[in-house]
């Protein structure tokens, strides 16, 4: 099975629930289990929240590609160039009181997704996140 779904949303925290509903509806028949869906939803929410709060983009384009053994979500915006994969890794060994603010969302995206890629193309930030069905990894 291969299916594609697309959404364009205004860059507003008020739209995060619409984005979540879109992603959930797109992957409902994908074969992802509840845990995998939760991980995907968290990663998408974190990425979109970062774009909305820091990216200076008016809109966010989201594409979900549902394939037999994986789901790929592409999030695109025309905001400030920012490659989250170049952000310093979060040091979880440092006590929380001593840590700098920020970076936890990017850490979650890297941890929860099986693959994360970024590219800057034609003035667009493009973040591609892949989650594979656990059953396909066995």
H/E run at residue 124: strand 124-132
Find all residues with CB under 8 Å of 104, minimum gap 6, and list them: 90
- Over the chain (138 residues), what is each successive 10-residue block's mean pLDDT? 86 96 93 94 95 93 93 96 81 64 78 96 96 70
Architecture of the structural domain at 3-137: 2-Layer Sandwich (3.30)
The first and second tokens of residue 103, run together, are: 């970076």
Give me the phi and psi of 103, to 5 degrees please: 95, -15
pLDDT score for 121: 96
Instruction: Tell me the whole-structure pTM to 2 decimals.
Output: 0.87
pLDDT score for 135: 62
What span, in angstroms and rounded, lies between the C-alpha atoms of 73 and 4?
10
The first and second tokens of residue 77, run together, are: 């915006």
pLDDT score for 128: 98
């Amino acid at each position: 099975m291969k299916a594609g779904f697309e959404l364009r949303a205004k860059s507003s925290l008020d739209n995060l629930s619409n984005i979540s509903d879109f992603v959930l509806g797109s992957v409902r028949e994908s074969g992802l289990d509840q845990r995998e869906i939760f991980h995907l939803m968290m990663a998408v929410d974190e990425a979109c929240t970062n774009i909305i709060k820091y990216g200076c983009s008016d809109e966010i384009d989201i594409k979900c590609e549902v394939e037999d053994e994986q789901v790929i979500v592409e999030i695109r915006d025309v905001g400030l160039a920012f490659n989250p994969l170049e952000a310093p890794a979060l040091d979880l060994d440092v006590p929380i009181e001593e840590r700098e603010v920020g970076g936890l969302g990017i850490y979650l995206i890297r941890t929860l997704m099986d693959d994360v890629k970024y590219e800057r193309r034609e003035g667009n930030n493009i973040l591609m996140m892949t989650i594979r069905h656990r059953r396909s990894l066995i």
